[in-house]
Amino acid sequence: MFLKNQGELTMRHIVFLLLLPLFLFARENPFFPVSDTPDIPLTTNRLDSESPLERVSIKLPSTARTIESVTIEYKNLDGSLSSKKVSLHNSIDWHLPIFISQNYESSPEKTLTKKHKQSKKSFIVYKKIASFRFISFYESGKRFKIVTKDKLLRSFLLVKPHRIVCDFKRDTNFGSFIKKIPKPSIFRKIRLGTHNGYYRVVIELDGYYRYKLKKYPYGYLYTLL
């Protein structure tokens, strides 16, 4: 009897040892296929309440001249935050806002047509904004033309407010002359005053600039940078 029971125990032990690896390596849910890929973050079908992006504008200060890059931070389906940076290195006009939008209104065809029309304009139209007996002033965008026969002695920048100072040679005495220039011109005010042997022209600007100066037979041309 003892030997029979001992044989049954031995057989049970053998069966248990054979089935043990199956229990140890059994998966929780045998109905899904085995995959060696890493875990994928869980997503959700919950709709966010944020309104769709249409257009956002960004205004830069008057010291800005180039845009180097744009970085967008966004939220993924699993709620984590990521970012994407795009390098640009483009010149900009700080007067104009920068837009972030998501629409298809500006097609490539329209952009090419606009550039083609702009390329046809090979001449620059200047608008007279002030004049005196022996000097006149014209503007076109960032260009400022001074028409005079008088010699330019010196030209330099001053700040607070930002302005260009020009001294012209002439023996004259006319007191002072002030001309305010309405918007959207970037040239805000022109002031003239006499000194001993020369008169001074002060051109007030709407922000911070550098300039290039070129002499022409009719006078001088300032191009703001």
Residues in the chain: 225
User: What pLDDT, in 10s, does the model give residues 18-65?
Assistant: 555 555 544 455 444 544 544 444 444 454 567 787 788 888 888 888
How many other C-beta atoms can be found within 10 angstroms of the C-beta atom of residue 182? 7
Whether the model pTM is above 0.85: no
Contacts (Cβ under 8 Å, ≥6 apart) of 208: 62, 63, 159, 162
Cα distance between the two ends of the chain:
110
User: What pLDDT, in 10s, does the model give residues 99-125?
Assistant: 888 765 554 445 555 555 555 556 889
> Where are the chain's structural domains?
55-101, 127-224
User: What pLDDT, in 10s, does the model give residues 78-90?
Assistant: 889 999 988 988 9
The predicted structure's pLDDT at residue 2: 44
Which CATH code of 3.20.20.10, 2.60.40.3500, 3.55.50.30, 3.40.50.300 fits the domain covering 127-224? 2.60.40.3500
Residue type, 55: R
pLDDT band at 164 (very low <50, low <70, confident <90, very high): very high
Q: Round to whole Å and give the CA distance between 207 and 62.
A: 5
Rg (alpha carbons) of the chain, rounded to whole number? 38
Q: Are 126 and 78 in contact (CB under 8 A)?
A: no
* Greatest Cα-to-Cα distance within the chain, rounded to the nearest angstrom: 141
